[in-house]
């Protein structure tokens, strides 16, 4: 099983300078490759990433555009992995784009990377570095101090060095043996989870878990620091004699105040992301550790975020990240993840008698069943219905087609992307449904590998 460990680095000033230059090299090579790709497409030539790489290798030490003021090829001071990997990344980006287009998904073409508007990172092959206790030995850099040991034993597949705010991190991908990667569960419960805004997650046992909402808590400070940085930017434009939009290719004078303001804003954004990730990891780990099956709804997060009134609150919780983490942690804990169809009326079904209340509005948090007079909390009722849906699927699991493990590409689990299982009918699992045409869309059953 492939797992990743992100370790914070403690580099010297000279090492930080090399990291900045290597990340800038990767960014510039990506832009060159993308521009050449677009030029060949416009000329009617079918481009190929490996052919572009050979073309670049033939000019990278002789072309004046890739030489310094003394006429020396500055790429010799940067390890080749930093300017070789962008071609493979570009090929993956175009493959992903065309795959999304074929399947009718929302897709955008690969874009040029601009300094300060993209992630600073570069790749390291597994034979170009090694780890020695609390030290990483990198090519062209030497020994860099680590803030912790590598967590996973196994074969190192590769790594990347990237920056988050003003800290550098080494992300190591390791092929971990299964007996180390898999954990034992503490309990064998079956839990339905209803995601929401007022309570981030409502469990079928009635427990409501609220999210820390770090963006809402830091929004005032975020606006203050953003305004401060904006004023410093306007001052730099006035000093350069620029009015309105900054012309392309123009570099504004860099001041210490603007640099400090940029770092302060980046640190605040990084803290918001860390608080949200900490909450999400603890919640998803708990659910997988304590249950043999967890059922959630297959929410259309992209469509939900189109609602301007709810977009910020939902993004502050992280609906998609919740599902992504559950998918790969379920594999590690041997937990079955059941995805209820997005049209399944979990909130509208009475968990006592199964009657459907079709007139339920979004603002109704409590409703009474007209059939059995049961009073329901909207979220708890939905979680109970999801739990019963999962229980029904598990009872007939042997009759279901076997689904592949749900693993999201790029996560810290699995050996690659895999699809979900076949959709099975949920009409007779629990409750009454009308003839809406969605009865055939039931649940996805994602069993562990």
- Which residue is listed with tokens 């090399």? 18
Helix H or strand E encompassing 32: helix 13-42
Q: Is the separation of the CB atoms in 180 and 152 below 8 Å?
A: yes
Q: Nearest Cα to 312, choosing from 225, 213, 226?
A: 213
Residue 446: band (very low, low, confident or very high) from pLDDT cuts 50, 70, 90? low
Q: Is the separation of the CB atoms in 317 and 275 below 8 Å?
A: no
Distance CA 418, CA 410 (A): 12
Residue 424: band (very low, low, confident or very high) from pLDDT cuts 50, 70, 90? very low
Contacts 24+ apart (CB under 8 A), 104-112: 106/302, 110/34, 111/34, 112/30, 112/31, 112/34, 112/35
- Backbone phi, then psi, for 350, in 5-degree steps? -75, 125
- 198-228 pLDDT tens trace: 899 999 988 999 999 999 999 999 999 999 9
Does residue 235 sit in helix, strand or coil?
Answer: helix
What's the chain's average pLDDT? 84
- Packing angle, helices 80-102 and 13-42, rounded to 10: 50
Higher pLDDT, 406 or 74: 74
Contacts 24+ apart (CB under 8 A), 65-74: none
Does residue 446 sit in helix, strand or coil?
Answer: strand
SS3 content of the chain, % helix, strand, coil (to 5): 40, 20, 40
- Backbone phi, then psi, for 145, in 5-degree steps? -70, 140
Q: Is the separation of the CB atoms in 389 and 192 below 8 Å?
A: yes
Q: Quick one: what percent of the chain has pLDDT higher than 90?
A: 56
Distance CA 385, CA 193 (A): 10
- 130-187 pLDDT tens trace: 999 899 999 999 999 999 999 989 999 999 999 999 899 999 999 999 899 999 999 8
Structure pTM?
0.82
Higher pLDDT, 435 or 55: 55
Which of the residue ranges 80-84, 243-247, 279-283, 388-392 would you say has the lowest mean pLDDT?
388-392
Higher pLDDT, 111 or 401: 111
Q: Is the separation of the CB atoms in 330 and 183 below 8 Å?
A: no
Given a cut of 50, is residue 406 above it in pLDDT?
no
pLDDT value of residue 444 = 47
pLDDT value of residue 369 = 86
Q: Which residues contact 301 (CB under 8 A, 6 or more apart)?
A: 314, 319, 320
Given a cut of 70, is residue 409 above it in pLDDT?
no
Helix H or strand E encompassing 359: none
Q: Nearest Cα to 27, choosing from 142, 117, 124, 126?
A: 117
- Which residue is listed with tokens 């006429």? 71
Using alpha carbons only, what angle is made at residue 236 by residues 234 and 239, rounded to the nearest 5 degrees? 110
Q: Quick one: what percent of the chain has pLDDT higher than 70?
A: 87
pLDDT value of residue 351 = 83
Q: Is the separation of the CB atoms in 108 and 145 below 8 Å?
A: no
pLDDT value of residue 390 = 75
pLDDT value of residue 439 = 39
CA trace torsion 255, 77, 168, 52 (10° rounding) = 100
Residue 399: band (very low, low, confident or very high) from pLDDT cuts 50, 70, 90? very low
Token representation of residue 256: 């210490």
Q: Is the separation of the CB atoms in 441 and 341 below 8 Å?
A: yes
- 262-300 pLDDT tens trace: 999 999 999 999 999 999 999 999 999 999 999 998 888
CB atoms within 10 A of CB 372: 11
Token representation of residue 73: 């090829």
């Amino acid at each position: 099983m492939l797992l990743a460990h992100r370790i914070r680095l403690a580099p010297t000033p000279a090492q930080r300078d090399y990291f900045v230059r290597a990340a800038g090299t990767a960014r510039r090579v990506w832009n060159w490759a993308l521009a050449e790709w677009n030029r060949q497409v416009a000329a009617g030539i079918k481009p190929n990433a490996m052919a572009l790489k050979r073309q670049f290798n033939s000019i990278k030490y002789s072309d004046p555009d890739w030489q310094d003021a003394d006429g020396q090829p500055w790429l010799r001071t940067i390890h080749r992995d930093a300017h070789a990997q962008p071609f493979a990344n570009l090929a993956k980006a175009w493959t992903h784009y065309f795959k999304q287009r074929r399947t009718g998904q929302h897709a955008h073409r690969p874009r040029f990377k601009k300094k300060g508007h993209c992630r600073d990172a570069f790749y390291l092959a597994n034979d170009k570095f090694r780890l020695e206790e609390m030290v990483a030995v990198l090519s062209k850099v030497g020994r860099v101090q680590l803030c912790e040991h590598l967590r996973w034993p196994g074969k190192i597949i590769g790594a990347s060095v990237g920056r988050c705010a003003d800290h550098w991190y080494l992300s190591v991908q390791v092929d971990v043996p299964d007996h180390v990667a898999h954990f034992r569960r503490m309990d064998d419960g079956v839990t339905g989870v209803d995601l929401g805004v007022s309570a981030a997650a409502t469990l079928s046992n009635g427990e409501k878990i609220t999210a820390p909402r770090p963006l809402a808590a830091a929004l005032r400070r975020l606006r203050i620091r953003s305004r401060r940085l904006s004023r410093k930017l306007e001052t730099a434009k006035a000093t350069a004699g620029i009015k309105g939009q900054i012309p392309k290719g123009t570099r504004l004078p860099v001041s210490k105040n603007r640099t400090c303001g940029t770092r302060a804003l980046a640190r605040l954004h990084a803290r918001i992301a860390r608080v949200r990730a900490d909450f999400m990891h603890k919640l998803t780990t708990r659910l997988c550790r304590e249950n043999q099956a967890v059922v959630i709804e297959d929410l259309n997060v992209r469509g939900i975020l189109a609602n301007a009134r709810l977009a910020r609150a939902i993004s502050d919780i992280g609906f998609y990240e919740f599902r992504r983490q559950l998918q790969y942690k379920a594999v590690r804990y041997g937990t079955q993840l059941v995805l209820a169809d997005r049209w399944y009326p979990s909130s509208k079904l009475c968990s006592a008698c199964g009657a459907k209340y079709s007139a339920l509005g979004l603002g109704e948090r409590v409703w009474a069943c007209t059939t059995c007079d049961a009073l329901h909390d909207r979220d708890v009722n939905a979680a109970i219905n999801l739990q019963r849906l999962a229980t029904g699927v598990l009872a007939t699991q042997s009759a279901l087609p076997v689904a592949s493990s749900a693993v999201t590409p790029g996560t810290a689990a699995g050996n690659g992307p895999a699809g979900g299982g076949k959709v099975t009918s949920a009409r007779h699992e629990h409750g009454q449904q009308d003839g809406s045409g969605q009865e055939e869309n039931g649940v996805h059953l994602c069993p562990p590998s």
